[in-house]
Amino acid sequence: MKKNYLLLIVVLFFISSCNEAAKPTNVQNAPVPVNVYTVHKENVVYYDQFPGTVVALMQVDIRAEVEGYITGIFFTEGGLVKKGQKLYEIDNSKYKANNNMIMANLKVAEANLDQAQKDADRYAYLNEHDAVAKQTLDHAMTTLQNAKNQVNAVKQDLIRTQTDLNYSIIKAPFDGTIGISQVKLGNTVTTGQTILNTISTNNPMAVDFVVNEKQISRFVQLQKNNPANTDSVFRITLPDNTLYNQIGKIYIIDRAVNSQTGTLNIRLEFPNPDAVLKAGMSCTVKVRNQDTLQQMLIPGKAIVEQMGEYFAFVSVDTLIPNNTPGAKQEKGLHAVQRKLILGKSIGDKIIVKSGLQAGDKVIIDGVQKLRDGTLVNEGVGDLKNKK
């Protein structure tokens, strides 16, 4: 009996639940409180950013042109050097000896030439008076020509030995900064192989970066215009995220696009009066936009991403359907979803290329609770100028 009583209670509860579920839900959901931002157009200044590398406009590796031992180093590592300044000295004792020997050979050759010249002149005079055999004159003229050739040959040897002697003293090719010496006193250097040091210019400096081939026309136009006042078109951010205090300009646009990557190298020039920029330093190149048209910006928190596409909700005052039988449609606010095409991010805002119009009220708070058509109630109102 008790079991039957319990079974009856369960059945009655089940029937009651079904009846409740079958009742129509005509109660409207309460509006979601939201804050809105009125879309408007404004002038926008933003920078496209590219990874860059600082390079010297001129940089050379200093190599030995003769071999021998390093006998002298005449600079401060990491310091500034002037064009023609003496940097290294290589043991030149054998080069001096060779040079002296060739100079002695030149004196002998010049003496032989002088004698040959006198003999040729003498036999030429005798030949005019038929006082000497023609063959003797020919021999004298041949000897004279050989003596001239010998002098020329020795002079070429002298140029070579003097060049070797000069190369034993290594001088700075231009004004710049010299690095840490790769050789010390007493080290042996090999002709054309041993790198003694590296010297580079330091003011101005260059910054290299690459752009997509689709952007080439933009930079060609910037180079063509070449305004006297670049007005901060080109700036760089240093590795510590500080903005460098000098303005750059286009130095050169590379001649060809890399066919494998579809990119083009561009080099900028920046003044470097305080030697802040160092060759090899990484930086971020900031190129200011040249678009003078006004843009529409909205707060980034208003944007919803769904499967790679971007949307925002707009508060629209329109008729709200009421499911209550016999009830009339009432006017009110509800959220309408708009698909967006976005541009650059500017701080906490994002440029909207399409999907919105000036005057639209974009919902920026309470977005997580919204769906297309959700009833909304604007809270604090228009946040157009709210920071």
pLDDT value at position 387? 40
- 275 and 231 in a single domain? The answer is yes
328 and 365 inside one domain: yes
**274 & 298 share domain:** no
pLDDT tens per residue across span 341-361: 888 777 788 888 888 888 888
Per the CB < 8 A criterion, the answer to whether 287 and 223 are in contact is no
User: How much is the pLDDT for 281?
Assistant: 92
Residue 64 lies in a domain: no
267 & 313 share domain: no
pLDDT at position 384 is 44
CA–CA gap between residue 312 and residue 272 (Å, rounded) = 46
Q: What is the pLDDT along the chain (387 residues), one digit of tens a residue?
A: 445 555 545 445 555 554 444 444 333 457 888 888 888 888 777 778 899 999 999 999 999 888 999 999 999 998 899 999 999 999 888 888 888 888 888 888 888 888 888 888 887 888 888 777 888 878 888 988 998 898 899 889 888 888 888 888 999 999 999 999 999 998 989 888 889 999 999 889 999 999 998 888 888 888 887 654 455 789 999 999 999 999 888 899 999 998 899 999 999 999 998 889 998 999 999 988 766 677 788 888 888 888 888 888 888 877 655 555 554 555 678 788 888 888 877 778 888 888 888 888 888 887 888 888 788 878 754 444 444
pLDDT tens, residue by residue, 114-168: 888 888 888 788 888 877 788 887 888 898 899 889 889 988 988 888 888 888 8
Look at residue 74 and tell me if it is in a domain: no
Query: Which stretch of DSSP H or E encloses residue 296?
Result: strand 295-299
Amino acid 84: pLDDT: 92
The pLDDT of residue 291: 66
Specify whether 230 is located in the same domain as 284: yes
Answer whether residue 283 is part of any domain. Answer: yes
The count of other CB atoms within 10 Å of the CB of residue 150 is: 18
Q: Is 187 left (phi over 0), alpha (psi -120 to 50) or beta?
A: beta
DSSP states of 37-86:
EE--EE----EEEEEEEEEESSEEEEE-SS-EEEEEE-S-TTSEE-TT-E
CATH of the domain at 153: 1.10.287.470
**How far is the CA of 67 from the CAs of 89, 170, 302, 352, in angstroms?**
11, 12, 71, 67
Residue in 34, 38, 60 with CA at minimum distance from that of residue 369: 34
Q: Are residues 303 and 343 in the same domain?
A: yes
The alpha carbon of 72 is separated from its chain's Cα centroid by a whole number of angstroms, namely 39
Single-letter code of the amino acid located at 71 = T
Q: Which domain holds residue 318?
A: 32-44+293-382
Quick one: 301 and 269 in the same domain? no
Q: Do 247 and 310 belong to one domain?
A: no
Tokens describing residue 224 = 């063509």
The answer to whether residue 343 is domain-embedded is yes
